[in-house]
Each structure stands twice: as C-alpha cells, then as structure tokens.
C-alpha cells in the first residue's frame, strides 16, 4: 500500500534480465503505461535510442548486480514518445542465500526542476526509495492518529530506533519539546489530510537526543475506495546542507563587510588627500601672512590664498553632502554660456598653463533648469578629470548644443541642452568606462581621489531631470555629456528663490547672543557680529545661554545646532517659551541634522563669511515662530 500510494515516483521490480515484474501508480502516471501494457516488457524501452545503442540499460543492470546499486540521471521516454529528465535508482535484490533474484527500480520525473535546481538535484535529490533497500531516507507509515506502523532501514540508520522500539509510538517524539507544545505534529497531519500533502524543514530529535535538520514530506494513504487509512512519511537528514548554507551566508557577509571597508578606506584616503592639500595651503598662507604683518609688510595676497583654500574645502564638503544626503537643489533658470564664462578665471587657475581651454556655444541657446552652484561644481570636477587625463598637456573643449529628445535612455521626451566636456587624453577601455560612474571607483591611485566625482555629477544631473553619458576611445580621449532639460516657465515659477532681504528685518545695533560649544568658532562669530556694530554675549552651552537671556535683554539668538546636552533647536524652543519676541538663527553644518529633523527657524550653514552673516540677519522673518516666514539662509557659492 505504501508503494502504490506514492505517485511522485515510479517504483517497480525487474527480474535479473531487466523484465518488468511490477508497476506502481507513480510509474503509470508519468510513464504512461498501464500495468498490463508494461509488465513482461524489457525496461530498456524507457531509454532513448542512443542510450540503447550504447548499451546503457545493460550496463545499469551489470553495475547494480556487481556493486549492489546503480544511480544516474538522464533522459527517458514516455509511452507517447515525449522525453522527461529522470532520477533513477536501481538496487540489487538477493535471496537469503545471496543469489540475485532481481532489481528494485525507482524513477522520478525532475524535468521541471532540472534547469533551476540542477546543482541541488545532483547533490541532494538522489532518490533511494525502495522501502527496505533505501537507507538515505526514513520511509515509514503512520496510522490516522500519528502512531508509527512500519519502519525502514533508513529510518533506523539516522533516527537510531529499531523497529521493535518505535512501532506503536507516536511520531511526535521526533519533534523538539517546543514544537510538540505548539502542536506542530498535529498540524502536519491535518495539513496532509486536508491539502493532500505536507512538506517542511525543521529540527528533529534522534534516539540519543541529538538534533538534525530534516526535510519532511507526509502524504495521505488511501484505500482503493478512497478512504484515508494512514500517512506515508519520508524524512531526509539535511544537516550538512544547512551547515554549508550557513557557512556560505557567513562568507557572503564577510565579503560584503570587506567591500564596505574597502569603500570606506577609499573614501577616507581620498578625502584626507584633498583636505591635506587645502590645509597645507591655509596653514602655509596664514603663517606667511603673520610673518609679513610682523614685518610691517602687506599680507593681503596670502590671506586671500588661505580664504580661497578654505572656500574650496567648503565646496568639497558640499559635494560630499550632495552625494550622501541629496542636498536640496535650488533650481532656477541658468544661462549655460554665461555660467561657463563666469567660471573662466577659476578654471584657468585650476588646470594650469599646459592645458588649452576652448569653448563652443551657439549664439542662441535656451536656458536650462538647474542649480547654478551645483552645476559649477560639476563642471569644475569634469574639467579637473579631463586635465588629469592629459598629464603632458593638451586641449579641453567645453561646448553645448540644443537637442530634441524623443526616446533617449530613459529621458523624458522634450528639449534638452547637451553640455559636454571633451579631452584628448588616454581614454578609457570598455571595462573602465562601464565602472567610471560607480561610487568609489577611481583610476587616480590610492589616496588621490574619493572616487565620488562622476557619481556625484551623475546624481546631480538626474536631480535636474537629465542624465550623464560617457563616450571614450582608448588613445583618443573622453567626452562627458550632461543632458539638461530646457527651462520651462511653469517650473521656474514654482522654484523661484526667496528675496534676498526683507524690509522688516532687524536694523541698527542689536544685542546678540552667540552660542557655540567650539571656542574657535564662537570667537570668530562674535568678532564678525562686533564688526557689524552689534553688542555680543557669548555662551558655550544651552544652559549658559538661558542664564544670559534671563540676565540681559537680547534681540537675536544665534546658536549652533549640534551641541552636547541641548541642541540648538531645543535651546531656541526653550528661549522662545520665555521670550517670544526673540529672533533666532540656527547655525549648522547641515550633515549634523538627524534624519527627519526639520528646523522651523532660519538656518545658516557653516562655513560662512561676515557678509553671509549680515545677509542672514537682514533676512530674519517678522515672527521667528511663524513657519510661513521661515527662510533658508545657506550661503550660495
């Protein structure tokens, strides 16, 4: 009854010559022969012609007779001539005297699973399912209540119970205590009874108390009249496979971690390289300026150099923030040709004297919809990349043209300006070009770049509604194109910036309370405010600031955001609760704001000049707590 109830396997007997002597329902289902059609026929009719010609059926019998077992996978033929991929097990059957009396043959149709699970099929799905001959599977019967009624050699081998020890016992004893308490055995039988099959994986217990990871299948067994009379249960030990999977997962996690550490190392090295160069310029220029001032000489040039290097550091920080946080874009109408002309001096100072810059712009070129500051950063980055590709010098072309896009790699159809930078450098091969836009990828060597330049430019173009494309030929040079959408009046109206100043902002000399936990920053801020003619009170913490507010009449609170104990936003809320007419400006490095935090006060971004601070004070809203009057005081560079 067990053999006849299994429909997923063809289980039948062969005599010593390979003649079929029995035939189960599984064999009839997927081979197509009824018992009276196939019993007495040679089993070689299931093989393809090429296998029969090569003598494969005879070799299978010979191998099973000599070695006790033959196992293989291959194409077999159904009655209607169609082929299916079969897993075949042929076991030798002997009488008590050891004489060969025939073979037990088990076949399963794996056609649908072959493509997707070929590796698992080869290593795990070797079916040895002739009840007492198979030792790799526990095959046994359960009655309607779940008591064991039969027990095969495979079950004894890896569960540890002899037949006389387990028959009559409930199969729940194989489950861990927590599964028994949760009712898992009863649910398994109920599922098999109602759905016609139960299949799962989980921990099971051996006789000695040790655990193994099992794959379990429970099929209902019915009489010829269709009455449920019990269950057929097949269990397989998959402990080693699970260990292998866990080892693979651990190896993958270690690999991903190493990738992250490599990326962090690349970023850290690149940022350190860039900022060390800037700090060298700042420290050197300030040192020389101090000496020249002590000697009574003009130090303006060196102070300007230090200031320029500091501004470049701020620009680098903005680029990093744009990449990490998708910094807010201030989109407006941009004349590309005018923007490039305005950058001419900066570009010439950056690239050196051995590079020639050419520009080509049409006389009539429509404006684009972009953030001019971010676009300037992107162009400068692309020009520097072009310069680095030509260490011996050469020509860089900056050009633009109007393009009408119909369907172009995901761009929305419409009018675009293609702004491109072309160099005569070494170019890139296909592999390098494909990776060039990936974050952290760089060809400049260890510690000589963050590897974020092109990826940030590409992200910026996408935020503008465009894209970046690369064309390069080894030995001939590279062209980087920015496809930027032409400005539309309706879009510009929504993105129009707030006016630079408000007529009702603070005027004249004010009493200012400057708060910052960094003494150096606090001294500079106080000096700027004093130079603007204001009276300044200094505090290094929120608690100290509240004490000063209680002791003095203060017009404006200028506070850093990130401070220990009390943030600038918390200080502002506490101050306004006691002094509702107080004006508030929060100073922040932008990246310090936690995700999801929105300030309801005007904010000024670090680093800032005295002129930025003056504009910030002039643009203060009428009521600090009125969200409609909140403006962004971040300086534009």
The pLDDT tens digits for 103-155 are 999 998 888 777 666 665 554 444 444 555 566 778 888 999 999 998 888 88
Q: Give domain status of residue 505, yes or no.
A: no
| Domain of residue 605, CATH code | 3.40.50.2300
Q: Mean pLDDT, to the nearest integer, of 13-28?
A: 92
First to last CA, the chain: 85
Q: Give the pLDDT confidence score for residue 315 in this predicted structure.
A: 65
Q: Give domain status of residue 446, yes or no.
A: yes
Domain that holds residue 117: 2-124
556-599 pLDDT tens trace: 999 998 888 898 888 999 999 999 989 999 888 654 455 555 66
Phi, psi for 573 (deg, rounded to 5)? -60, -45
Q: Mean pLDDT, to the nearest integer, of 622-626?
A: 44
Q: Give the pLDDT confidence score for residue 445 in this predicted structure.
A: 47
Give the distance, in angstroms, between the CA of residue 511 and the centroid of all CA atoms in the same chain: 51
Q: Which class for 110: exposed (0-12), middle (13-18), buried (19 or more C-beta within 10 A)?
A: middle
Q: Across 346-476, where does the E strand assignment appear? A: 355-360, 368-370, 394-405, 414-422, 467-473
My answer on whether 489 and 352 are in the same domain is: yes
Which residues face 216 on adjacent strands? Answer: 200, 235
My answer on whether 305 and 339 are in the same domain is: no
Nearest residue to 427 via CA among 450, 404, 443, 410:
443
Q: Give the pLDDT confidence score for residue 496 in this predicted structure.
A: 39
Q: Give domain status of residue 320, yes or no.
A: yes
Nearest residue to 561 via CA among 527, 530, 599:
599
Check whether 331 has a pLDDT greater than 90. no
Check whether 90 has a pLDDT greater than 90. yes
Nearest residue to 399 via CA among 420, 417, 376:
420
Q: Which of 298, 325, 352 delimits the end of a domain? A: 325
- For tokens 């300037």, name the residue: 376
| Domain of residue 338, CATH code | 3.30.565.10
Q: Give the pLDDT confidence score for residue 410 in this predicted structure.
A: 67
Q: What is the pTM of this model?
A: 0.37
User: Band of the pLDDT at 627, cuts 50, 70, 90?
Assistant: very low
Q: How far apart are CA 400 and CA 415, in angstroms?
A: 13
My answer on whether 465 and 434 are in the same domain is: yes
Q: How far apart are CA 522 and CA 525, in angstroms?
A: 5
Phi, psi for 632 (deg, rounded to 5)? -95, 115
DSSP per position, 530-593: HHTT-EEEEESSHHHHHHHHHHS--SEEEEES--SSS-HHHHHHHHHHH-TT-EEEEEE-STTS
My answer on whether 400 and 431 are in the same domain is: yes
Judging by DSSP bridges, how do beta strands 368-370 and 511-515 pair with one another? unpaired
Q: Give the pLDDT confidence score for residue 81 in this predicted structure.
A: 92
My answer on whether 154 and 196 are in the same domain is: yes
Our CA angle for 264, 270, 276, nearest 5°, is 125
> How many CB atoms neighbour CB 243 within 10 A?
11
Give the distance, in angstroms, between the CA of residue 86 and the centroid of all CA atoms in the same chain: 39
Check whether 319 has a pLDDT greater than 60. no
Residues near 514 by beta carbon (within 8 Å), at least 6 away in sequence:
522, 525, 526, 529, 536, 537, 538, 539, 558, 559
> How many CB atoms neighbour CB 10 within 10 A?
25
My answer on whether 523 and 381 are in the same domain is: no
- Mapping DSSP to helix (H, G, I), strand (E, B) and coil, where does residue 244 land? helix
Check whether 174 has a pLDDT greater than 60. yes
My answer on whether 549 and 569 are in the same domain is: yes
* Peptide bond connecting 607 to the previous residue in cis, omega within 30 degrees of 0: yes
Number of domains in the chain: 5
Q: Give domain status of residue 147, yes or no.
A: yes
- CA distances from residue 327 to 333, 375, 456, 520 in whole angstroms, order as listed: 19, 13, 11, 27
Q: How far apart are CA 533 and CA 552, in angstroms?
A: 18
Which residues face 199 on adjacent strands? Answer: 217
Q: Mean pLDDT, to the nearest integer, of 603-612?
A: 80
Q: Give domain status of residue 111, yes or no.
A: yes
Instruction: Give the single-character DSSP code of 634.
Output: P
- Mapping DSSP to helix (H, G, I), strand (E, B) and coil, where does residue 369 land? strand
Q: How far apart are CA 621 and CA 189, in angstroms?
A: 72
Q: Give domain status of residue 634, yes or no.
A: no
Q: How far apart are CA 256 and CA 243, in angstroms?
A: 20
Q: Give domain status of residue 504, yes or no.
A: no
Q: How far apart are CA 155 and CA 139, in angstroms?
A: 6
Q: Which of 237, 256, 271 delimits the end of a domain? A: 237
Q: Give domain status of residue 130, yes or no.
A: no
Check whether 36 has a pLDDT greater than 60. yes
Q: Which class for 397: exposed (0-12), middle (13-18), buried (19 or more C-beta within 10 A)?
A: middle
Check whether 472 has a pLDDT greater than 80. yes
57-77 pLDDT tens trace: 999 999 999 999 999 989 999
Q: Which of 50-64, 601-615, 623-637 has the lowest mean pLDDT?
A: 623-637
My answer on whether 298 and 345 are in the same domain is: no
The count of residues in the chain is: 637
Q: Which two tokens stand for residue 440?
A: 């952290």
Q: Which of 237, 267, 302 delimits the end of a domain? A: 237
My answer on whether 531 and 485 are in the same domain is: no
Q: Tell me the percentage of the chain whose pLDDT exceeds 70.
A: 78
My answer on whether 318 and 350 are in the same domain is: no
DSSP per position, 388-421: HT-TT-EEEEEEEEEEEESSBTTBPSEEEEEEEE
Edge-first strand listing for the sheet containing 211-222 = 138-142, 228-237, 211-222, 198-205
Check whether 397 has a pLDDT greater than 90. yes
Nearest residue to 88 via CA among 104, 109, 71:
71
My answer on whether 376 and 486 are in the same domain is: yes
> Quick one: which H or E segment has residue 526?
helix 519-531
- For tokens 């101050």, name the residue: 575
My answer on whether 312 and 445 are in the same domain is: no
**CB distance 360 to 331 below 8 Å:** no
Q: Give the pLDDT confidence score for residue 311 in this predicted structure.
A: 74
């Amino acid at each position: 009854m067990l053999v006849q109830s299994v429909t997923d396997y063809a289980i039948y007997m062969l005599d010593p010559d390979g003649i079929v002597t029995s035939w189960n329902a599984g064999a009839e289902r997927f081979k197509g022969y009824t018992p009276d059609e196939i019993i007495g026929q040679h089993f070689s009719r299931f093989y393809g012609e090429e296998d029969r010609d090569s003598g494969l059926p005879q070799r299978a019998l010979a191998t099973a007779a000599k070695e006790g077992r033959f196992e293989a996978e291959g194409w077999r033929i159904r009655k209607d001539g169609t082929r299916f991929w079969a897993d075949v097990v042929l076991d030798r059957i002997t009488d008590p005297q050891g004489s060969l009396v025939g073979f037990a043959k088990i076949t399963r149709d794996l056609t649908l699973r072959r493509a997707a699970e070929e590796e698992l099929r080869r290593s795990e799905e070797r079916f040895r399912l002739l009840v007492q001959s198979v030792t790799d599977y526990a095959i046994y019967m359960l009655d309607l209540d779940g008591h064991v009624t039969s027990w095969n050699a495979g079950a004894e081998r890896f569960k540890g119970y002899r037949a006389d020890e387990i028959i009559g016992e409930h199969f729940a004893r194989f489950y861990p205590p927590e599964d028994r308490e949760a009712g898992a055995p009863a649910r398994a039988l109920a599922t098999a009874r109602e759905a016609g099959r139960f299949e799962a994986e989980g921990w099971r217990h051996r006789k000695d108390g040790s655990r193994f990871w099992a794959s379990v299948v429970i099929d209902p067994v019915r009489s010829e009249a269709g009455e449920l009379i019990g269950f057929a249960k097949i269990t397989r030990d998959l402990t080693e496979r699970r260990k292998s999977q866990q080892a693979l997962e651990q190896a993958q996690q270690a690999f991903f971690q190493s990738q992250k550490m490599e990326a962090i190392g690349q970023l850290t090295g690149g940022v350190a390289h860039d900022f060390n160069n800037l700090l060298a310029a700042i420290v050197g220029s300030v040192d020389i300026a101090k000496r020249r001032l002590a000697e009574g000489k003009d130090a303006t040039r060196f102070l300007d150099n230090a200031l320029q290097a500091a501004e470049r550091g701020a620009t680098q920080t903005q680029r990093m923030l744009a990449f990490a946080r998708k910094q807010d874009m201030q989109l407006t109408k941009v004349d590309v040709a005018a923007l490039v002309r305005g950058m001419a001096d900066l570009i010439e100072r950056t690239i050196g004297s051995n590079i020639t810059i050419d520009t080509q712009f049409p006389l009539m070129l429509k404006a684009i919809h972009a953030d001019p500051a971010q676009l300037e950063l992107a162009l400068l980055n692309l020009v520097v990349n072009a310069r680095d590709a030509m260490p011996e010098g050469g020509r860089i072309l900056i050009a633009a043209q109007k393009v009408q896009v119909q369907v172009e790699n995901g761009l929305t159809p419409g009018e675009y300006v293609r702004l491109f930078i072309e160099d005569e450098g070494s170019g890139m091969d296909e592999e390098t070009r494909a990776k060039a836009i990936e974050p952290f990828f760089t060809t400049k060597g260890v510690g000589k770049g963050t590897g974020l330049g092109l990826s940030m430019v590409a992200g910026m173009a996408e935020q503008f509604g465009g894209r970046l494309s690369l064309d390069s030929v080894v030995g001939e040079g590279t062209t980087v194109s920015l496809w930027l959408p032409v400005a539309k009046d309706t879009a510009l109206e929504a993105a129009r910036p707030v006016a630079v100043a408000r007529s009702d902002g603070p005027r004249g000399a004010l009493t200012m309370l400057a708060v910052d936990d960094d003494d150096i920053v606090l001294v500079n801020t106080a000096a700027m405010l004093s130079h603007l003619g204001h009276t300044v009170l200094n505090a290094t913490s929120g608690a100290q600031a509240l004490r000063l507010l209680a002791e003095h009449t203060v017009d404006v609170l200028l506070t850093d955001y990130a401070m220990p104990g009390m943030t600038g936003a918390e200080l502002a809320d506490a101050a306004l609760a006691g002094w509702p007419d107080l004006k508030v400006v929060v100073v922040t490095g932008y990246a310090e704001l936690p995700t999801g935090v929105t300030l309801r006060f005007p904010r000024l971004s670090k680093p800032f000049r005295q002129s930025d601070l003056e504009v910030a004070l002039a643009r203060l809203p009428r009521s600090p707590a009125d969200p409609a009057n909140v403006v962004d005081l971040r300086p534009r560079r």
